[in-house]
């Protein structure tokens, strides 16, 4: 895994200075190519605009209700949508499906321990199951859990246990255009204030989400993790990392934080986890798998309680809702996510899309995060007021024009209040999430062309109205209609 093609690029300059006995110069090129070749293909289907117009109408103008086969490029999410490697597939065939003590579990446990250093490893079927077990065990009414920004499912589990999910991301993290290398950092002063105001006894854990998904996939610096850890340890509060994109975060630390340029992503990840007392993980992200997750920690007593609940809701603690072959895939995927060649390609290809859009004049969240590009639809479509859903309109136009499925992160997702009234969301964004190892540079080039073409036709775009909706999480199943 070391000694990849891209490691060689790094030492390119140095090598050039060395005398080549053949008198030929080494060539690496400027293009960051996909660090894999393709041996199994999955056809994607082309449709006409007339077909897509009809399909979208049938789906109630809600991209969530489209059939995946009617989508050309699917950027709905990067969760569980990645391509697995031949190493993962071959390990899956040789899995151990024993109910208790399967060798596949021990491989999984040893990979998680090796990377995170945590003593107890509890497998779960995905990230939210780990959150459910953790918060059901530690949180109670009146408690508060500080985080840089809670991801939707994390917030939901904290609130389900009647505790408060508090977001303490730094101010820079709330401004889409503000350039800052670590916009996912937590505001340490606010954290100290919260502890003082609410009392140590009401804070069962402090969390950091790395990278910060709900804040645009922005990274957290090692310095910030160290500071949060120091505060947590001073007060004796457990510190957990929401580690879904730990490998992408390690890469940002390597490339943006002083003192880490010569460390491997694995060394950086290990250091991140060293400052924490445990983590929750969705293996559908940097586990490079289609399903899976885990909860890990050092505390023996807490682990005992969590294992009991795992047995009740997930399964026996040596499989916890995963098949043996899922655990095999994750055990390998965690290392593949830390491969430098992969990470360089991953982060570069997301930035590449962002740069193309920004160069064409499209407003995006800056700097580009690890797993997605976010388009500012409020800026692009000033003719559509927030409660006529500009980001929804843009997402639908991307499907009509390019066959691309994206997701609205705006007033359809967040606007409906518990009392049934509507309030505009703070931002109207369209997220283009990039699945891991799935699309090639030509897909991304096409994608950029389609978004730019949509931008050229922006004045023709109209707002939408909701015609039917559920009372919670309405974006998943609401039906809409275009306004005339
Ligand atoms: C996806 C995600 C989760 C939840 O994981 P699931 O596997 O979808 O249940 C939690 N936190 C973050 C930051 C995530 O991105």
Question: pLDDT class for 20, splitting at 50, 70, 90?
Answer: low
Q: Is there a single domain that holds both residue 207 and residue 149? A: yes
Would the CB of 209 count as within 6 Å of ligand 1? yes
Residue 2 belongs to some domain of the structure: no
Q: In terms of domains, do 345 and 302 share one?
A: no
Instruction: Return the best residue to mutate from 82, 285, 431 for the ligand 1 pocket (most ligand atoms within 8 A of CB).
Output: 285
Q: What is the CATH number of the domain that holds 44?
A: 3.90.1150.10
Predicted confidence at residue 2, as pLDDT, reads 40
Q: Is the CB of 127 under 6 A from ligand 1?
A: yes
> For every residue of 397-426, which 3-state class applies, written as one string?
HHHHHHCEECEEECHHHHCECCCCCECCCC
Answer whether 242 contacts ligand 1 (Cβ < 6 A).
yes
pLDDT at 11: 57
Q: Which CATH number is 275's domain given?
A: 3.40.640.10
In this predicted structure, what is the pLDDT of residue 7?
Answer: 54
Classify residue 12: in a domain, yes or no. Answer: no
The reply to whether 217 and 352 lie within a common domain is no
Q: Which of 336, 354, 384 is the last residue of a domain?
A: 336
Alpha helices in 338-385 (DSSP H): 340-359, 377-380
In this structure, the answer to whether residues 289 and 370 fall within a common structural domain is no
Distance between CA 152 and CA 174 in Å, rounded? 17
Best mutation site among 123, 244, 249, 279 for ligand 1, i.e. most ligand atoms within 8 A of its Cβ?
A: 244
pLDDT in the model for residue 21 = 67
**Exposure on the CB side of residue 148, measured as CA atoms within 13 A:** 33
Q: How confident is the model at residue 10 (pLDDT cuts 50, 70, 90)?
A: low
Residue 22 has pLDDT above 80, yes or no: no
Ligand 1 within 6 A of 78 CB?
no
Could you tell me if residue 18 is inside a domain?
no
Is there an atom of ligand 1 within 6 Å of 431 CB? no
State whether 289 and 317 are in the same domain: yes
Give yes or no: residues 90 and 131 share one domain.
Answer: yes
> Are both 64 and 97 inside the same structural domain?
no
| The pair of three-digit structure tokens given for residue 29, joined into one six-digit string | 């090129």
Q: With a cut of 80, say whether residue 374 has pLDDT above it.
A: yes
How many Å lie between the centroid of ligand 1 and the Cα of residue 361? Answer: 32
- Atom number in ligand 1 closest to CA 282: 7
Whether residue 132 sits in one domain with residue 143: yes
In a domain, 9, yes or no: no
Residues 266 and 192 in one domain: yes
User: Per-residue pLDDT averaged across 186-190, rounded?
Assistant: 98
Q: Tell me: the pLDDT tens digits for 301-327?
A: 999 999 999 999 999 999 999 999 999
Q: Are residues 312 and 376 in the same domain?
A: no
Residue 265, SS3 per DSSP: helix
- With respect to residue 21, please indicate whether it lies within any of the assigned structural domains: no
The pair of three-digit structure tokens given for residue 439, joined into one six-digit string = 């699309």
Question: To the nearest whole number, what is the mean pLDDT of the chain?
Answer: 94
φ/ψ of 396, rounded to 5, equals -70, -40
Whether residues 194 and 328 fall in one domain? yes
**Ligand 1 nearest-atom number relative to CA 209:** 13
Question: Is 462 found in the same domain as 435?
Answer: yes
pLDDT tens digits, 150-165: 998 899 899 999 999 9
Residue 471 above 90 pLDDT?
no
The residue range of the domain holding 137 is 86-336
Total domains present in the chain:
2
């Amino acid at each position: 895994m070391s000694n990849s093609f891209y490691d060689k690029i790094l030492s390119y300059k140095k090598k050039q200075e060395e005398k080549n006995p053949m008198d030929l110069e080494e060539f690496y090129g400027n293009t960051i190519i996909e660090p894999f070749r393709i041996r199994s293909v999955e056809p994607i289907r082309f449709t006409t605009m007339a077909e897509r117009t009809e399909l979208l109408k049938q789906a109630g103008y809600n991209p969530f209700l489209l059939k995946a086969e009617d989508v050309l490029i699917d950027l709905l999410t990067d969760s569980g949508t990645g391509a697995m490697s031949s190493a993962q597939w071959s390990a899956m065939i040789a899995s151990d499906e024993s109910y208790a003590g399967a060798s596949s579990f021990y491989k999984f446990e040893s990979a998680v321990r090796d990377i995170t250093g945590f003593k107890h490893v509890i497998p779960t079927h995905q990230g939210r199951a780990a959150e459910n077990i953790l918060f059901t065990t530690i949180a109670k009414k009146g408690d508060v859990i500080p985080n840089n920004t809670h991801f939707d499912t994390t917030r939901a589990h904290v609130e389900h246990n009647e505790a408060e999910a508090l977001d303490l991301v730094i101010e820079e993290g709330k401004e889409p255009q503000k350039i800052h290398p670590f916009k996912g950092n937590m505001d340490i002063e606010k954290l100290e204030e919260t502890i003082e105001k609410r009392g140590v006894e009401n804070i069962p854990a402090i969390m950091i989400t790395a990278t910060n998904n709900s804040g645009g996939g922005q990274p957290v610096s090692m310095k910030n993790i160290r500071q949060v850890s120091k505060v947590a340890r001073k007060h004796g509060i457990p510190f957990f990392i929401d580690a879904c994109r730990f490998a992408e975060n390690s890469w940002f630390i390597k490339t943006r934080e002083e003192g880490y340029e010569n460390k491997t992503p694995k060394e950086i990840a290990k250091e991140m986890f060293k400052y924490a007392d445990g983590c929750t993980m969705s293996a559908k992200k940097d586990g490079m798998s289609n399903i899976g997750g885990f909860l890990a920690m050092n505390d023996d007593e807490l682990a005992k309680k969590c294992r009991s609940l795992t047995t009740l809701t997930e399964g026996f603690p040596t499989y916890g809702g995963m098949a043996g072959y899922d655990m095999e895939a994750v055990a390998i995927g965690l290392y593949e996510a830390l491969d430098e060649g992969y990470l360089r390609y991953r982060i570069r290809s997301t930035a590449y899309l962002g740069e193309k859009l920004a160069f064409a004049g499209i407003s995006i969240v800056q700097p580009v995060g690890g797993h997605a590009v976010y388009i500012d639809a409020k800026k692009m479509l000033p003719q559509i007021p927030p409660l006529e859903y500009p980001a929804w309109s843009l997402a639908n136009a991307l499907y009509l024009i390019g066959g691309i499925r994206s997701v609205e992160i705006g007033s359809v997702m967040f606007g409906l209040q518990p009392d049934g009234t509507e309030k505009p969301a703070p931002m109207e964004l369209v997220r283009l999430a990039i699945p891991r190892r799935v699309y090639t540079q030509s897909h991304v080039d096409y994608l950029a062309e389609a978004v730019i073409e949509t931008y050229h036709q922006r004045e023709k775009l109209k707002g939408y109205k909701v015609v039917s909706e559920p009372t919670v999480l309405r974006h998943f199943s609401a039906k809409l209609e275009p306004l005339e």
